[in-house]
Chain A
Amino acid sequence: MRKYKLLSIILAFVLVFSLSVPTAHAAPSITVTTLSVDMSGAGKIIGYIQGAPKETEVTLLITCGSDIVHIDQITAGNNGSFLFKLKVNAKYSEKKINVNIGSNAGATPYSVTYTLPYMPPGFEHIDNNSVIYGHDAYTANSIYLADSLTVTDSIIYGGNIIYFKIGDKWYDLMNPKATSSAFFVAENATPNATVKAKTAPLRYYYYGGKIVDFAKE
Chain B
Amino acid sequence: MDKKSIASGAAAVVLATGLALTPAVTDVDVTEPEVIEEVIIEETEVSEDAEEVTEESSKTEKTETEETKTEKPVITEPKQPHLEAEKPTYEDYTTEIGYSFTYESERAKTITIDVPDYLSADIVTMYVNGAEVNTVLLPGNPNFTTIPVVFEDLSNIEFKLYRMGEEIGTARFIDDILKTNAKAVE
Contact = CB atoms under 8 A, between A and B. Distances in A.
Given A4-B9, A81-B137, A146-B105, A12 B28 contact: no
Contact of A23 (B13, B26, B108, B139): B26
B25 A151 contact: no
A75 to B, nearest CB: 9
B9 A22 contact: no
B28 A151 contact: no
Contacts of B184: none
Contacts of A13: 16
Given A9-B8, A77-B137, A16 B19 contact: yes
A188 B72 CA distance: 46
Contact of A129 (B123, B134, B136): B134
A182 B28 CA distance: 45
Interface string A111-151: 00000000000000000110100000010110001111001
B6 to A, nearest CB: 8
Contacts of A51: 28
Contacts of A8: 8-9, 12-13
Interface stretch (B45-53, B76-84, B149-157): B149-157
B17 to A, nearest CB: 8
Given A8-B8, A145-B107, A166-B131, A22 B153 contact: no
A1 B19 CA distance: 25
A15 interface: yes
Given A8-B8, A23-B26, A83 B15 contact: no
Interface size class of A (residues with CB under 8 A): 35 or more
Interface in A57-89: 74, 77-79, 81-83, 85
B82 to A, nearest CB: 22
Nearest to A182: B153
Contacts of A23: 26-28
A81 B164 contact: yes
A39 to B, nearest CB: 14
Interface size class of B (residues with CB under 8 A): 35 or more
B132 interface: yes
Contact of B129 (A15, A146, A167): A167
B53 to A, nearest CB: 33
B164 A181 contact: no
Contacts of B108: 140-141, 145-146
A179 B153 CA distance: 9
B132 to A, nearest CB: 7
Interface of A: 1-2, 4-5, 8-9, 11-13, 15-16, 19-23, 25-26, 29, 31, 33-34, 44, 46-48, 50-51, 74, 77-79, 81-83, 85, 128-129, 131, 138, 140-141, 145-148, 151, 164, 166-169, 173, 178-185
24 contacts: A1-B2, A12-B12, A12-B13, A16-B15, A16-B19, A20-B25, A21-B24, A26-B28, A29-B28, A46-B162, A48-B122, A48-B165, A77-B140, A78-B121, A79-B120, A79-B163, A81-B122, A83-B135, A83-B136, A148-B106, A166-B150, A179-B149, A181-B157, A183-B149
